[in-house]
Homo-oligomer: A and B are copies of this chain.
Amino acid sequence: MRELRIGDLARATGISVETVRYYERIGLMPPPGRTQGNYRAYDRGHLERLNFIRHARTLGFDIAEIRSLLALAAQPATDCAAADAIASCHLTAVEAKIASLEALRAELTRFAGQCRGGAAADCRVLEVLADHRLCTGEHRLQTPEGPADTRRPAPR
């Protein structure tokens, strides 16, 4: 099988050339051999490793986790429990993130899209942001009697 240039590797995995070089720089990919013209020359092992990395990134594992998983995969005799622990821990984190985003969605649906076309002074969105207690269901305008913007305008 022919040697692979970095662009071949990129096309084969869907990872950009710059990112492949970045992975090498941070030690996630081993430095490949070089051609006479100083081009990186990859083999099938590199391709498989990069695919492994891509799959793991797609699943949301961070670089440190991937490093550990690669180390475990490189030693087939070790106990698999460590790999399972990483995955389970990651699953828990994903579930937590989903929960917090769902809470966010609940709050946003409470006021987004409720525009009645009025002026900003009556805007439900801006009201809620100005006084977060409104999120809990109350509905009162917070703009004080004086103009809300006695402060200087934001620079820039």
Copies of this chain present in the complex amount to 2
Min C-beta distance of A79 to chain B, whole Å? 7
A150 and chain B: residue at smallest CB distance = B45
The interface residues of chain B lying within 8 Å CB-to-CB of A11 are 156
The interface residues of chain B lying within 8 Å CB-to-CB of A97 are 101
Is B117's CB under 8 angstroms from A91's CB?
no
Is B49's CB under 8 angstroms from A125's CB?
no
Say if the beta carbon of A41 comes within 8 Å of chain B: no
Partner of A83, one of B30, B125, B153: B125
**Size class of the A contact interface (CB-based, 8 Å):** 35 or more
A84 and B123 alpha carbons, distance in the complex (Å): 8
Say if the beta carbon of A43 comes within 8 Å of chain B: yes
Q: Which of A52-101 contact B (CB under 8 A)?
A: 52, 55-56, 58-60, 67, 69-81, 83-84, 86-88, 90-91, 94-95, 97-98, 101
The interface residues of chain B lying within 8 Å CB-to-CB of A46 are 151
